[in-house]
Amino acid sequence: MTLADRIAAFRATLEEWLRGLYHGMFTHPAYEKVEAEAEDTEDAFMLACFPDAFGIPSPVSYYTAELLPYLEDEYQSWERRMWDRQSVIERKGHQYHF
């Protein structure tokens, strides 16, 4: 193996590591943040659809009940998130990686 080849191999590895580091430090948390935000919006949607789950009567829950057969995943994760969530701060805190 020539010196040039070894330098090239080293640079390739370094590049991969750097990209990984960049992804781990910046890109991934950013995507995670977007996803968390999406989940939050979805929670708001679910809450608006089924406020009676928390004892708040809604004029449209009769209609939104029709959505339930299509909301399997959403409903399940929504319930889980509602259980898990101690406070808004706690959830928002997840977004920051220290």
Partner 1 sequence: MTQFTFFGGKGGVGKTTVSSAYALECADAGLETLVVSTDPAHSTADVFDQEFGDDPRPVEGYDGLSAVEIDPEQEVRDHLTELRRQLNAQLSAAMVNEVDIQLEMAHQTPGAYEAALFDRFVEVMRNADAYDRVVFDTSPTGSTLRLLALPDLLERWIDRLMDKRERSIDLFEKAAIGNKEPRRVMDGDPILARLQERKERFEFAGEVLREDAAFYLVLNPDELSIRETSRSLETLAEANLPVRGLVVNRLTPEPEPREEGRGATYLRQRVETERDRLEHIQGEFDVPVVATIETRVEEVRGHILEDVAGDLEIAVTDGGPARTS
Contact between 75 and 68 under an 8 Å Cβ cutoff? The reply is yes
List of residues contacting partner 1 (CB under 8 A): 27-28, 31-32, 34-35, 37-39, 41-42, 44-45, 48-50, 52-53, 57-73, 75-76, 79
25/65 with CB nearer partner 1: 65
Q: At closest approach, how far in Å is the CB of 92 from partner 1?
A: 15
Dihedral of the alpha carbons of 7, 9, 12, 16, in degrees to the nearest 10: -120
Q: At closest approach, how far in Å is the CB of 2 from partner 1?
A: 34
Residue 65 CA, chain-centre distance (Å), reads 25
